[in-house]
Amino acid sequence: MFRPEIKVLDCTIRDGGLMNKWQFEDKFVKAIFDACCAAGIDYMEVGYKSSESAFSREENGVWKFCHDSDIIRVLGEDCAEKGIKLAAMGDIGRIEYDDIPPKDESVITLIRVACYIHQIDKGIALVEHCIDKGYETTIQLMAVSKAMERDIDEALDDVAKSRLPVLYVVDSFGAMYCEQVERLAKKYIAALPGKTIGFHGHNNQQLAFANTIEAIIHGCNYVDGTMYGIGRGAGNCPLELLISFLKNPKFDPRPVYEAVQKQMIPLREKIEWGFHIPYLITGMLNEHPRSAMTFMDEPVRGDFADFYDQIADATTLE
C-alpha cells in the first residue's frame, strides 16, 4: 500500500514565507514544527540560507537567513533530536559559501540548492561544497517547463557526473500537466541511475496534488507539501492531502489537521494565498507568477480579462 522509501518534506515556512517576507511569529513557527514532528514528517524546511549582503533584515524575517541561533531560540535546543530533519534552501546568486557553517556546528541537516538550468554548474559546485561540510543535499532545478530539451539533457549529464544524491523535478510556474510530470520523472530517472528524484509542484492550475501523485507513481521518492497549501502565489501541494494519500502508518495526519485549524486558517485572514484567476492565467501560459502577485497586491484589483490580455500579449511577443 505504500513505498517506505518515500520522504516527505514540509516547506510551509520557506515557500509560505514568499507571501509575507518570512515575517512569521515565533509561536507560529514552533507550532508548525511541533505538528510536523507529531505527524512523522521526514524533513521540515525552516526557510532560506541567504546572504545578509543581498537581503535586509529590516525587510525580511529571520527565516530568510536561518541562523542556527534563531532556529534554536524558536524551536528549542533539542530541535535536532526530535526525529525530524531540518532543511534550508540556498538560491544560487543569493548565498555565499561562508553563509553555510560546517554541519557539526548546525542543527540543519539538509541544504537544498535552487538554481536555473543555466546555473547548473554553480549549483553542483555549491552542493559539493555542502557535502564536504557534512550536509545532505538536493538540487531544485527550477523553471524546466521553459527549458529547451538539449539544455535539460546537458544539465542531467552534468548531474550524473556529480556527487549530488537528489535532483528535483520542479514545476515552478504551476504550468505542468500529469503527462509532462511523467515524462520528466522518467527522463531524470533514466539519466541518473543510483540517484533519487524528487518533485515540487505549484498549484496555479489546481494540479499540485495530482502532479505529486503522478511523480510518485513514476518513481519520485522525495515529495514536498505545505500546510493548507500555503506557498508563493497559488501555493503548493497541501501536506494534509499528501500524507493521507501515502497510506504510510508512520504519518499521522491528525496533528496537521489541528495545525491547519489553529494556525493556518487564522493566518489566511492576514495574508492571501491559493487558487485565483491571475495565478491560473500565469500557470496556463507558463509564466512566472510575479505579475499575478502584483495584481493580487493592488488595493483595488483590476479586470481578470484585461490581465489575461496583457500576459497573453507579452507571451506572444516572446
Classify residue 1: in a domain, yes or no.
Answer: no
Distance separating alpha carbons of residues 252 and 36, to the nearest angstrom: 9
Task: Mark whether 312 and 234 lie in a shared domain.
Answer: no
Q: Are residues 295 and 157 in the same domain?
A: no
**59/199 same-domain check:** yes
Number of structural domains, the chain? 2
Q: Residue 1 — very low, low, confident or very high, per pLDDT cuts 50/70/90?
A: low
* pLDDT band at residue 314 under the 50/70/90 scheme: confident
Residue 316 pLDDT grade (very low, low, confident, very high; cuts 50, 70, 90): low
172 pLDDT more than 70: yes
What average pLDDT is seen over the chain? 96
Same domain assignment for residues 57 and 120: yes
pLDDT of residue 171: 98
**Tens-digit pLDDT profile for residues 102-148:** 999 999 999 999 999 999 999 999 999 999 999 999 999 999 999 99
Q: What's the CATH code of the domain at 208?
A: 3.20.20.70
Task: Give a yes or no: residue 2 inside a domain.
Answer: no
Domain span holding position 302: 277-317
* Mean local confidence (pLDDT), 227-253: 97
pTM (two decimals): 0.96
Residues 200 and 179 in one domain: yes
pLDDT tens string 73-107: 999 999 999 999 999 999 999 999 999 999 999 99
Same structural domain for residues 49 and 111? yes
Within this chain, do residues 164 and 22 fall inside the same structural domain, yes or no? yes
